[in-house]
Structure 1
Amino acid sequence: MSFEPKNPVVKWVEHRLPITGMLHHALYEYPTPKNLSYWWTFGSLAGFMLVVQIVTGIVLAMHYTPHVDYAFTSVEHIMRDVNYGWLLRYMHANGASMFFIVVYLHIFRGLYYGSYKAPRELLWWLGLVIFLLMMATAFMGYVLPWGQMSFWGATVITNLFSAIPLVGDSIVTWLWGGFAVDNPTLNRFFSLHYLLPFVIVGVVILHVWSLHTNGSNNPTGLDIKDKQDSIPFHPYYTVKDLFGLAIFLIFFSAFLFYAPNYLGHPDNYIPANPLVTPAHIVPEWYFLPFYAILRAVPDKLGGVLLMFGAIAVLFALPWLDKSRIRSARFRPIYKQLFWVFVADCVLLTYIGGKPPEGAFIIWGRIATIYYFVHILILLPLVGLFEKPRPLPASISEDVLPKKAASGETANA
């Protein structure tokens, strides 16, 4: 269906640059499965948080000084002297956590409903690339306040690359810009932290393009078969997304105004001191599962490989999962294993924030082993031997009987 604007100015532009028609198709008439739940709002929320991070980051960069002698005091200047600087800084710092919360929920929703399966493999890959870019951006941003945890976190994480044979030390020297974490390191991290969000925007555009090419997945995992299975994106899902955004903003505001430092570390309000090592060096909470996997292996190189491997195996999920059924709604064994996997990831997050000693080491190793056993062994086996429940013939068949049943109940 071609888009023909009524406004003469818009029509003139449309015939020369059809961007209005493209947006009309993508945001208005895009055929969307009629049974999407609120779990599908987290993609829109992730896009919203990306915009929040970019806008607040640009304003903060106007007042920040990327120099080891002034970085910490410039952050304090933002907090105390810039009009609403405290709000911008807390919005940016807590916004990173909110961004990761919605992205983690978005990923787990994809795992539950099989959104990584054909023909959406490339869509899944692009999502994982966005996740990796987010992690790099967040790590570099954590270094910028130049507090104790910023400095020592940068020292520990960048030193991990030294475990790579032959080229490891050269990589670390390049990251540092010298022979220790110092001013060149801070300058490089500031530059990359400013640049990478715009790279994320580019990958997000590809991610959305891929989504619109193959269509959205849905709770049944079935493809759209006819017009009865779909509805236009607007106004049905724009309203739904706006309601989800309102609830999310209440949650965000609770942290922003009542507990702005809850998700941070108190040591980062101490200026960086290379001569004083914190008692317990930990990254931000959203890195803790991978930090736990890193520490589960006594060997430095083995820990690094396992940590990166924890994300690398996710790229292979479309081929590791042998089941022809996408949604866990119709896969009784996989559904139970999924929740065990979620609990395992929560346990890894908890272990990652604890000192590497005693029972925490043992439980960290058990949780790490299960993480890889679940993906590399259980997932393929369940896909081969599980007996799924019968699928509905179409999306409409899955939705309409429920509406009819509810209508009969109301009439009675």
Structure 2
Amino acid sequence: MSFPWAEPYQPKNGLTRWFDERLPLPRLVYGAIGGGYPVPRNLNYFWNFGVLAGLALTVQIVTGIILAMHYVPYGDAAFLSVERIMRDVPQGWLLRYAHANGASFFFMVTYIHIFRGLYYGSYKAPRELVWMLGLVILLLMMATAFMGYVLPWGQMSFWGAKVITGLFGAIPFVGEPVQQWLLGGFAPDQPTLNRFFSLHYLLPFVIAGVIVLHIWALHIPGSSNPTGVEVKSAQDTIPFHPFYTAKDGFGVGVFMLLFALLTFYAPNYLGHADNYIPANPLSTPAHIVPEWYFWPFYAILRAFTVDFILPAKLWGVIAMFAAILLLFFLPWIDRSPVRSGNYRPRFRQFFWILILDLLVLGYVGGQPAEEPFVMISQLATIYYFAHFLIILPILSAVERTLPLPNSISESVLHGEDKEAAPADLSGLRPAAAE
């Protein structure tokens, strides 16, 4: 299908033409995010969060590189080096708070990005690989965030490392050797810091590489949209630039405003006070808890309290990993031909119940492992797996969906002026080479 603005890139001057002929980077950028990339004309603000996730990763990489210049991954010096960054390094407090809160914002926008995909069926064909690469990014983010949480070497860092790495010890036969390899010994210590610092520095660049693959895979079928109807004509699309770059610019402004408010006025709101106490292997905190973005998975882990064939701890580990791995099979679990939740009334109801269920899991995951929180986590865990393994397959077979619009343009125009010609976008074409 040809579009009036999707013409081959034409450099505007001799220097650009010379560069493009030898390294076609301008052509690549133009085709990826410029006027050469047609996008459905009905995208709403939930499609901003992919760009915001990229911005959050950029903040993490830039601040992380600078912090690494001052951090010392060596025993007690690790905690002291973080305190030195906060007190003595020029603007070190800002870098540290921006990096710590940037991780939370990264997970916030990524979770919203995933929920948007769940609601609008962005995991369905032909975008299965886009969805799966996104889940790979999520797993890499979790590994990176966990290792980063250990580096300040406070009380919660030390005991968080001990508890989470201890989960591998529950795996039969290979668990204990894997746990010792991760820690570099039998307990979190100097080798643990060396390993975690090295991997924490490396993995963000791996995430950036997978994001490139994610975007590449997206550009083959094109972006999904709120109707779930595929592009059928040039009238259904508009060029990404300047229309969606402007829309994304608004989202970036809101993101930076909220990020600045948290960083400057409540920098420790999402953290834990115990992490300002140096790590002490002889003093166990009253309540060991990970960062908030791990709470739903932590609740699933703790939901298993009875040994049945396998130890309860092993069941918890299996369920925690299965909660994410299950999402890789979602394109085949949900067989409904209709993508968007806007046209699936029953699916929409169960979707919001799932969101409520995840919020409950998040809340109880941050609470002590005692009643009634354990029982609530057990019920919420049962519903989480039932949603994907029972409810979605049944809905796919029996749900009566609403009529879909004939095209994206029809949904935008609400059935009016369906025969209108495409807008005149000749002014958005690239200028001819000089």
- Provide the TM-score with structure 2 as the length reference: 0.92
SS at match of 1:231: strand
Q: Which amino acid aligns with 1:369?
A: I
Q: Which amino acid aligns with 1:31?
A: P
What is the correspondence of 1:293-332 to structure 2 with a 5 Å cutoff? 293-298=300-305, 299-332=312-345
Q: 2:207 matched to 1:204?
A: no
With over 3 angstroms needed to count, the CA separation of the structure-2 counterparts of 1:91 and 1:133, relative to structure 1, is same
Q: 2:352 matched to 1:346?
A: no
Q: Which amino acid aligns with 2:292?
A: W
Q: Which amino acid aligns with 2:8?
A: S
Q: 2:127 matched to 1:120?
A: yes
- Residue 246 (structure 1) shift: 0.6
- The aligned counterpart of 2:386 is 373
SS at match of 1:146: coil
SS at match of 1:70: helix
Q: What is the aligned counterpart of 2:14 among 2, 5, 8?
A: 8
- Which sections of structure 2, spanning at least 5 residues, go unmatched? 1-6, 306-311, 418-434
The structure that is helix-richer by fraction is 1
Q: 2:259 matched to 1:246?
A: no
- The aligned counterpart of 2:308 is none
- The aligned counterpart of 2:401 is 388
- Residue 402 (structure 1) shift: 7.4
Q: Which amino acid aligns with 1:9?
A: L
Q: 2:285 matched to 1:278?
A: yes
- Residue 252 (structure 1) shift: 1.1
SS at match of 1:32: strand
**Aligned equivalents of 2:287 and 2:67: distance in 1?**
29
What is the correspondence of 1:76-155 to structure 2 with a 5 Å cutoff? 76-155=83-162
- CA-to-partner distance for each residue in 1:232-284, whole Å, 9 max, x for gaps? 00000000000011111111111111100000000000000000000000000
SS at match of 2:238: strand
- Residue 301 (structure 1) shift: 0.5
SS at match of 2:75: coil
Q: 2:235 matched to 1:235?
A: no
- The aligned counterpart of 1:257 is 264
- CA-to-partner distance for each residue in 1:3-23, whole Å, 9 max, x for gaps? 120221221111111111010
**Aligned equivalents of 2:259 and 2:140: distance in 1?**
22
SS at match of 1:214: coil
SS at match of 2:10: coil
- CA-to-partner distance for each residue in 1:81-116, whole Å, 9 max, x for gaps? 111100000000000000000000000000000000
Q: What is the aligned counterpart of 1:46 among 12, 37, 53?
A: 53
- Residue 403 (structure 1) shift: 7.8
Q: What is the aligned counterpart of 1:333 among 346, 352, 373?
A: 346
Total equivalences in the alignment: 405
**Aligned equivalents of 1:256 and 1:145: distance in 2?**
18
Q: 2:244 matched to 1:226?
A: no
- Residue 178 (structure 1) shift: 1.3
Q: 2:370 matched to 1:357?
A: yes
- Provide the TM-score with structure 1 as the length reference: 0.97
- Residue 322 (structure 1) shift: 1.3
- The aligned counterpart of 2:4 is none
**Aligned equivalents of 2:223 and 2:415: distance in 1?**
22
**Aligned equivalents of 2:397 and 2:203: distance in 1?**
40
Q: Which has the higher contact order (CA 8 A, sep 6+)?
A: 2
- CA-to-partner distance for each residue in 1:285-314, whole Å, 9 max, x for gaps? 000000000000120100000000000100
Q: Is the 8 A contact 2:410 2:416 kept in 1?
A: no
**Aligned equivalents of 1:239 and 1:232: distance in 2?**
12
- The aligned counterpart of 1:167 is 174
**Aligned equivalents of 2:190 and 2:165: distance in 1?**
15
Q: 2:31 matched to 1:18?
A: no
Deviates more, 1:189-198 or 1:252-261: 252-261
- The aligned counterpart of 2:425 is none
> Alignment identity in percent?
64
Deviates more, 1:395-404 or 1:146-155: 395-404
Runs of 4+ in 1 over 6 A off after TM superposition: none
What is the correspondence of 1:70-81 to structure 2 with a 5 Å cutoff? 70-81=77-88
Q: What is the aligned counterpart of 1:288 among 292, 295, 298?
A: 295
Deviates more, 1:251-260 or 1:275-284: 251-260
Q: Is the 8 A contact 2:50 2:110 kept in 1?
A: yes
**Aligned equivalents of 2:333 and 2:13: distance in 1?**
51
Q: Is the 8 A contact 2:82 2:152 kept in 1?
A: yes
- Which sections of structure 1, spanning at least 5 residues, go unmatched? 405-412
